[in-house]
């Protein structure tokens, strides 16, 4: 079972090459199934809304899900209404801005993959653009074609227009070409932004590559051990309380962290070059709640 869980974690880890490949394959498969079973262009004046909905609505949903599934989101926003200062430690808005940017970029991976694959496929785009009643769009698509083109463009995806079949095929080919070009442009733009952001963050980092690698290993190990120990201590506490209840006696002493300690270790951690800690838990166990080690922060994030 542990081996299966490790394999599944490897596939679903967005930070690994295998994770990205798995996400891409899942998105492609989902998009193909969506196109085959759920999508049917109405071939009416509603084409633009219908095709656009299938192109962008799943992407927006994936974006929202990406926010929900990112543990960094909840570490950052939990308790922010009760204490807004936790979002800007030291009154520095750059911290808040950078965390939001990182969360957003991570959440955009699946939506970009969906839109790119959908554009390369072309089905949604062809349906949407055939129903776009824009004069410039119609003039471009219907250039040197019969008058039926202007009136029955929305019927082209269903091959029900009164235009000659040659003209319908030309319009379909043109729309497919436009869709695929836009898809490749989006892929190239996303790759360029990803490379530039990675280079920028690495260039600005004061942590060496080997130390950053160690940091990531430590954080992943700490998360795994935390889950194991949390389950162990939760089980012991539950057994202690239930035994006290059923045996009708005073419970044994049981030491657990207080509320302030939980708040301290639940925050996102920013690495300080003055003190070599690798997580909020590491910092807490060394200095506790009243930590006076307020050195200059370096905004390098690995946790979450």
- Measured between alpha carbons, how far is 112 from 93 in angstroms, rounded to an integer? 28
CB 268 within 8 A of CB 304: yes
Q: What percent of the chain has pLDDT over 70?
A: 82
Output the CA–CA distances (angstroms, integers) from residue 20 to 13, 78, 106, 201, 249, in the order listed. 8, 28, 11, 20, 54
- Measured between alpha carbons, how far is 122 from 157 in angstroms, rounded to an integer? 11
Average pLDDT of span 231-250: 91
pLDDT tens column, 189-226: 999 998 998 888 788 777 788 888 888 888 889 989 99
**DSSP state, residue 14:** T
Q: Which two structure tokens, joined as six digits, stand for 144? A: 């040197």
Q: Which two structure tokens, joined as six digits, stand for 94? A: 């750059």
CB 273 within 8 A of CB 296: yes
Q: Is the pLDDT of residue 148 over 80?
A: no
Q: Is the pLDDT of residue 239 over 90?
A: yes
Q: Which two structure tokens, joined as six digits, stand for 221? A: 């190990």
Residue 139 confidence (pLDDT)? 85
Residue 144 confidence (pLDDT)? 80
Q: What is the DSSP string of 51-89?
A: HHHHHHHHHHHHHHHHHHH-HHHHHHHTTTTT-GGGGSG
Q: Is the pLDDT of residue 140 over 70?
A: yes
Among 85-89, 197-201, 212-216, 237-241, the range scoring the smallest mean pLDDT is 85-89
Residue 135 confidence (pLDDT)? 83
CB 60 within 8 A of CB 107: no
Q: How far is CA 86 from its chain centroid?
A: 23
Residues 6+ apart with CB under 8 A from 178: 125, 129
CB 216 within 8 A of CB 302: yes
CB 48 within 8 A of CB 131: yes
Residues 167, 170, 174: CA angle, nearest 5 degrees: 140
- Measured between alpha carbons, how far is 41 from 152 in angstroms, rounded to an integer? 14
Q: Which of 259, 250, 256, 261 is nearest to 237 (CA)?
A: 256
Alpha-helical (H) ranges within 122-251 are: 123-130, 135-141, 148-152, 165-204, 209-247
Q: Give residue for tokens 């436009």.
A: 178
Count of C-beta atoms within a 10 Å radius of residue 157: 25
CB 121 within 8 A of CB 28: no
Residue 92 confidence (pLDDT)? 67
Q: Which of 212, 221, 208, 233 is nearest to 282 (CA)?
A: 221
**Burial zone of 98 (CB within 10 Å; 0-12 exposed, 13-18 middle, 19+ buried):** middle
pLDDT tens column, 151-170: 888 888 887 777 888 888 88
Q: Which residue has the higher pLDDT, 86 or 50?
A: 50
Q: Is the pLDDT of residue 244 over 70?
A: yes
Q: Give residue for tokens 């920028």.
A: 200
Output the average pLDDT for the chain. Answer: 80
């Amino acid at each position: 079972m542990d081996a299966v869980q490790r394999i599944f974690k490897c596939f679903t880890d967005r930070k690994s090459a295998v994770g990205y490949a798995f996400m891409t394959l899942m998105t492609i498969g989902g998009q193909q199934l969506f196109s085959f079973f759920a999508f049917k262009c109405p071939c009416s004046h509603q084409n633009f809304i219908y095709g656009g909905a299938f192109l962008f609505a799943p992407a927006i949903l994936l974006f929202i899900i990406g926010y929900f599934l990112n543990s960094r989101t909840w570490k950052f926003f939990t308790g922010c209404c009760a204490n807004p200062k936790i979002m800007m430690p030291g009154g520095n808005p750059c911290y808040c801005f950078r965390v939001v940017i990182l969360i957003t970029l991570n959440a955009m991976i699946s939506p970009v993959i969906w839109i790119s694959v959908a554009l390369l496929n072309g089905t949604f785009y062809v349906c949407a653009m055939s129903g776009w009643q824009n004069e410039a769009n119609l003039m471009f698509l219907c250039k040197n074609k019969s008058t039926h083109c202007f009136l029955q463009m929305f019927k082209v995806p269903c091959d029900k227009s009164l235009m000659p079949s040659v003209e319908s095929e030309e319009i379909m080919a043109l729309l497919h070409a436009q869709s695929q070009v836009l898809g490749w442009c989006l892929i190239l733009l996303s790759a360029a932004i990803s490379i530039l952001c990675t280079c920028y963050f690495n260039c600005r980092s004061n942590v060496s590559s080997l130390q950053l690698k160690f940091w990531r290993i430590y954080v992943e190990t700490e998360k795994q051990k935390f889950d194991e120990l949390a389950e162990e201590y939760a089980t012991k506490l539950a057994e202690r309380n239930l035994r006290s209840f059923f045996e009708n006696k005073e419970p044994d002493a049981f030491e657990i962290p207080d509320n302030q300690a939980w708040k301290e270790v639940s925050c996102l951690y920013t690495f300080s070059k003055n003190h070599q800690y690798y997580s909020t838990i590491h910092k807490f166990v060394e200095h506790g709640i009243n930590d006076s080690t307020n050195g200059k922060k370096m905004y390098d994030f690995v946790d979450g």
